[in-house]
Every structure is written in structure tokens, then in C-alpha cells.
Structure 1
Amino acid sequence: MARSKEFEVNEVLDKAIQLFWTQGYEKTSMQELVDFMGIHRRSIYDTFGDKHALFMKALERYEAKQTQKIRLLVEKQKPVKELIREMFELTLRNEGEPLGCLLVNSGVELGVLDPEVASLVEESYSKTEAFLTQLLQEGQQTGEIRADLEAKVMSHFLMNAWLGLRTLVKTTTDQQKLKNIVDTTLAVLD
């Protein structure tokens, strides 16, 4: 008779996310994962596979949680510029989370070395750009966003600014600088 799992998969995946997010993939050892996740090494292998498979599951869960945060923003049915501002400002508020973004960190650390990571990160970025394009088009229809802007091109610009912000929060504590970047980026849409 098989033993039942003595842990909840998403809870231990969230712990793996925290450790990978804080330290990166390469600097995180299996022993650190065992200790931090609070489960046996064998349980990690049986449930997730090797370290890379665990990392990919953690990245997938992180990406799904980030997508859910963005979906919740849209449900607020606020003006488009306010929604984009909130999306950017979520990057500035990391209550209880490591600084930056696990997807950005992973793309920088492993993107050229690991096609599976590169693919997941690129897919996530593409979904976000599509979301931004849709928001911009809606804002153009309501007159909130300049009609002469090409929505798809502007989504690339906003994505680049957002990724830059997600990187910069790791190296600066100057909140005014970060807010100025958000303000200047969004001013382009007027």
C-alpha cells in the first residue's frame, strides 16, 4: 500500500519558489531545498523529479500566480492607465517576497543556457505583451490613450520598462526614483 504524502504540494512548491527566487537556481543546492521545504530528499525526487524539474514546476507556479495578480487587476474595471500603473507599482511593493522577479532572474541566469527556461520565460513575456496590447487598444477606444500610438509597439515599450523596473528594484532603495520611472513611462501614453 502506497504511503500518502505528508505535505501539500503547492505549499512546498511555494517554499521552493522563495529559495530559488532569493538565491537563484545555480546557488541553490538540493540539501538547501530539503531543509527549506521541510520534506525528505526522496519525497522531492518522487514528487517533482530532479532539481531542474522542481525548478521548472516552481517557475510554472510562480508564473501562474503572477498571471492571477494581473487578472485580479483587470477585474477592478478601472481606467486603463490606472491598471497599468497598478501593474507597475506591484513591482515596487514586495511585502514578504524577495526583491525583483523570479522569471526575470531566471531568464537572466539561465535563458541562454537552458532552452526550457528560456521558452517558459518567453511565453510569459509574450502573454504579458498581449495583455498590454489589449489594454492599450481598450484605452485608445475610450480616448484614454493616444490614438496615434501603435498598441503592439507600445506594449513592447511598456514590457521593457516593466522588466527594467523589476530588475532595478533589486539594486536601489530610492523609492522616489522608482516612482519617477513609472510616472515617466506612463506619461508617454498621454
Structure 2
Amino acid sequence: MARSKEFNENEVLQKAMELFWKQGYEKTSMQDLVEYMGIHRRSIYDTFGDKHSLFVKTLQRYDNQIEAKITTHVNTQESPCKAIRQLFMLAILRDELEPVGCLAVNSAVELSLHDFEVRELVSNSFSKTEQLLYALVQKGQKTGEVSSQFEAKKLSDLLHNSLVGLRVLAKTTNDKKKLEGIIDMTLSMLK
């Protein structure tokens, strides 16, 4: 008879995500995961597979959480420019318990050159954000809220690049005025 799990799978997966987010994939050992997640090594293997499989599951979880934040904070904005601003603000405002920066960007920098599966997950995540920005720019250009001086696709690609850069910069400074100034300057191209 199989033993029942003595832990909540979602809670320990959240802990694994936090640890990978703080330390990165390479720096996080299985022993680190055992200690941080508070479960036995065998339970990790039985429930999530090896370290890489666990990491992939945490990236998927992170992507789902970001989608939920976007649905709650960005997609509820009536104005395309306000929605774009809110998306940028999500990159710099964080829950005090969250690690600094963005797990997807961290993973892209650390692993995407040599880990196809991670590269695909990050690429898909980035693609969703690019599509959202493109839709918002197009909507803004149709309503006149966003200048039609630039092609919507090129403008949304530039915005996405700026957003990724902002996510990296947010790891190095907690100067909110500086980060908000960068957002203001970036979004000034929408006018």
C-alpha cells in the first residue's frame, strides 16, 4: 500500500521556485532543496523527478503566476497606455517575500544557451508578453492614445526589450524613483 504524502505539493513546489529564483539553477543543490522545501530527497524524486524536472515545473508555476498577475492588474485597465504602464510597474513592484528580479529572465541568462527545454519555456513566456504588448499598442493606435509614428510590431518589440532590461535592473537597485523614471522615459515614446 502506497504511503500518503505528508506535505502539500503546491507549497513545496512554491518553496522550490523561491529557492531557484534566489540562487539560480546551478547554485542550488539537491541538499539545498531538501532543506528549503522541508521534505526528503526521495519525496522530491518521487513527486517531481530529478532537479531539472523540478526546475522546469517551477518555471511553469512562475509563468502561471505571472499570467494571473497580468490578468488581475493589466488586463483590467481600460486604457492601453495604463495597461502598458501597469505591466512595467509589475516588473519593479514586488511582494517583500518575493526574491528580487524575474525568474524567467534569470533563467534565460543562466541556462538558455545550453538548455533547450528552459530556452523554450522562457521563449514562450516572453512571446506571451510580446503578444500582449503588441495587442495593447495596436489598440492604442486605433483609439489614438498611442502614436502611429512607429509600426505597432516594432514599437511593441522595443517595449518588450525595455521591459526585460528593467527586470534585470530591478535586481541591482531598489531606487524606486530611478526605476519609475526609466518607465516614464520608455513610455514617452508612445505619445
Query: Which runs of 4 or more aligned residues in structure 1 lie more than 3 Å from their structure 2 counterparts after TM superposition?
Result: none
State the identity as a percent. 56
Shift of 1:75: 4.0
Structure-2 residue corresponding to 1:155: 156
TM-score where L is the length of structure 2 = 0.96
Shift of 1:71: 1.6
Structure-2 residue corresponding to 1:46: 46
Structure-1 residue corresponding to 2:25: 25
Structure-1 residue corresponding to 2:145: 144
- Give the conservation status (yes or no) of the 8 Å contact 2:101–2:167: yes
Tell me the number of residue pairs that the alignment of Structure 1 and Structure 2 aligns. Answer: 190
Structure-2 residue corresponding to 1:167: 168
Q: Which moved more, 1:164-173 or 1:52-61?
A: 164-173
Structure-2 residue corresponding to 1:124: 125
**CA offsets, 1:4-41, max 9 Å, x none?**
11222111111001100000000001011011111111
Shift of 1:47: 0.6
Structure 2 counterparts to residues 55-94 of structure 1, below 5 A: 55-94=55-94
Structure-1 residue corresponding to 2:113: 112
- Give the conservation status (yes or no) of the 8 Å contact 2:15–2:36: yes
Shift of 1:124: 0.8
Q: Which runs of 5+ in 1 are unaligned?
A: none
CA RMSD of aligned residues (A): 1.1
Q: Which runs of 5+ in 2 are unaligned?
A: none
Amino acid across the alignment from 2:50 = D
TM-score where L is the length of structure 1 = 0.96
Shift of 1:78: 2.6
Cα separation, 1, equivalents of 2:22 and 2:167 = 14
